[in-house]
Structure 1
Amino acid sequence: MMHPLNGVRIVEMAGIGPGPFCGMMLADHGAEVMYCHRPGAAPDPRDPLLRGRRPVEIDLKSPEGVARIRELTAQADGLFEGFRPGVMERLGLGPDVLCADNPRLVFGRMTGWGQTGPLANAAGHDINYIALSGALHAFGRAGGKPTPPVNAVGDFGGGGMMMAFAMVSGILGARASGLGTVIDCAMTEGSALLMNMVWGFRETLGWVDDRGVNLLDTGAHFYDTFETADGKHIALGAIEPQFYALFREVVGIADDPAFDAQMDRTAWPDLKQRLDTLFLTRTRDEWCSLLEGTDACFAPVLSMSEAPDHPHNAARGSFIERAGVVQPGPAPRFDPPPATE
Structure 2
Amino acid sequence: MPGPLEGVKVVEIGSIGPGPWCAMMLSDMGADVLRVDRAGHVREHLPGERSYEFATLRGRRSVGVDLKRPGGAEVVLRLAEQADALIEGSRPGVAERLGIGPEKCLARNPRLVYGRMTGWGQDGPLAHLPGHDLNYLALSGLLHAIGPADGRPTPPLNLVGDYGGGGMLLAFGIAAGLIEAARSGRGQVVDAAMLDGSCLLGTLIHGLRQVGEWQDRRESNRLDGGAPFYGTYETADGRWVAIAANEPRFYAELLDALELAGENLPDQFDERRWPQLRARFAETFLTRTRAQWVETFRARDTCFSPVLTLDEARTHEHGVARSSFVPVDGVLQPAPAPRFGRTPGAVAGPAAVPGEHTEEALRDWGFSPAEIAGLAAAETVVQAEVRKERAIR
Which category describes the TM-score, using the shorter chain as reference length? over 0.9
Q: How does 1:62-73 map to 2 (within 5 A)?
A: 62-73=69-80
1:179 aligns with 2:194: no
Q: CA deviation at 1:209?
A: 1.1
- Rounded to whole Å, the distance in 2 between the matches of 1:5 and 1:178 is 18
Structure 1 equivalent of residue 280 of structure 2: 274
Can you give the 5+ residue segments of structure 2 that lack an aligned partner in the other structure?
Answer: 344-393
Q: How many aligned residue pairs are there?
A: 336
| Alpha-carbon offset, residue 55 of structure 1 | 1.1
Match of 2:378 in 1: none
Match of 1:130?
A: 137
Residue 10 (structure 1) aligned with residue 4 (structure 2): no
1:64 to partner: Cα distance: 2.2
- Asked if the contact 1:107/1:183 (under 8 Å) is kept, the reply is yes
Letter in 1 for 2:326: I
Other-structure match for 2:26: 26
Q: 2:228 maps to which residue?
A: 221
The answer on whether the counterparts of 1:11 and 1:33 sit within 8 Å (CA) in structure 2 is yes
2:318 aligned with 1:312: yes
| Per-residue Cα deviation, 1:71-122 (whole angstroms, up to 9, x for no partner) | 1100111101110110010011111100011110111111111111111111
> Shift of residue 2 of structure 1?
2.0
Q: CA deviation at 1:203?
A: 4.9
> 2: CA distance between counterparts of 1:257 and 1:242?
18
- 8 Å CA contact 1:133, 1:191 repeated in 2: yes
* Counterpart for residue 191 of structure 1: 198
State how far apart, in whole Å, the 2-side matches of 1:192 and 1:270 are. 34
Aligned-partner SS, 2:265: helix
User: Does the CA-based 8 Å contact 2:140-2:198 persist in structure 1?
Assistant: yes
Partner Cα separation in structure 1 for residue 85 and residue 300 of structure 2 = 45
Partner of 2:342: 336
Map 1:1-341 → 2, pairs under 5 A: 1-39=1-39, 41=41, 44=50, 47-203=54-210, 206-259=213-266, 261-292=267-298, 294-336=300-342
* Cα 1:223/1:21, change in 2 over 3 Å: same
1:273 and 1:205 map into 2 onto residues whose CA distance is 27
What is the deviation of 1:293?
5.4
Helix, strand or coil at the partner of 1:309: coil
Paired residue type of 2:168: M
The TM-score, its normalising length taken from structure 1, stands at: 0.95
Larger displacement relative to structure 2 (299-308 or 32-41):
32-41
CA contact (8 A) 2:112 2:188 kept: yes
Query: What is the identity, as a one-letter code, of the residue corresponding to 2:10?
Result: I
Could you tell me how far apart the structure 2 residues matched to 1:63 and 1:276 are? Answer: 66
Q: For the residues of structure 1 that align with 2:65 and 2:298, how far apart are their CA atoms?
A: 52
Deviation at 1:315, TM superposition (A): 0.6
Cα distance in 2, alignment partners of residues 7 and 323 from structure 1: 24
Query: What is the identity percentage for the equivalent residue pairs of Structure 1 and Structure 2?
Result: 51
How far apart in 1 are the matches of 2:279 and 2:302? 19
1:53, 1:68 → 2: CA distance? Answer: 18
Q: Distance in 2 between matches of 1:205 and 1:245?
A: 28
Give the direction of change, closer, same or farther, for the CA distance of 1:293–1:102 in structure 2 (3 Å limit).
Answer: farther
Distance 1:241 1:205 in 2: 23
Q: Is the 8 A contact 1:223 1:236 kept in 2?
A: yes
Is contact 1:292–1:299 with CA below 8 Å preserved after alignment? no
The answer to whether the Cα contact below 8 Å between 1:229 and 1:279 also exists between their aligned partners in 2 is: yes
Separation (CA, whole Å) in 2 of partners of 1:248 and 1:203: 33
- Aligned partners of 1:165 and 1:8: how far apart in 2? 15
Structure 2 CA distance for aligned equivalents of residues 83 and 280 of structure 1:
50
For 1:293 and 1:172, how far apart are their aligned partners in 2?
A: 45
User: How far did 1:56 drift?
Assistant: 1.5
Query: How has the CA–CA distance of structure 1 residues 59 and 209 changed in structure 2, closer, same or farther, with 3 Å as cutoff?
Result: same
Q: Distance in 2 between matches of 1:127 and 1:170?
A: 28
Matched residues in 1 for 2:109 and 2:169: separation? 24
Q: Which has the higher contact order (CA 8 A, sep 6+)?
A: 2
Conserved in 1, the CA contact under 8 Å of 2:257 and 2:300?
no
State the alpha-carbon separation in 1 of the partners of residues 170 and 117 from structure 2: 7
Where does the alignment leave 5 or more consecutive residues of structure 1 unmatched?
none
Is the CA contact (8 Å cut-off) linking 2:327 and 2:333 kept in structure 1? yes
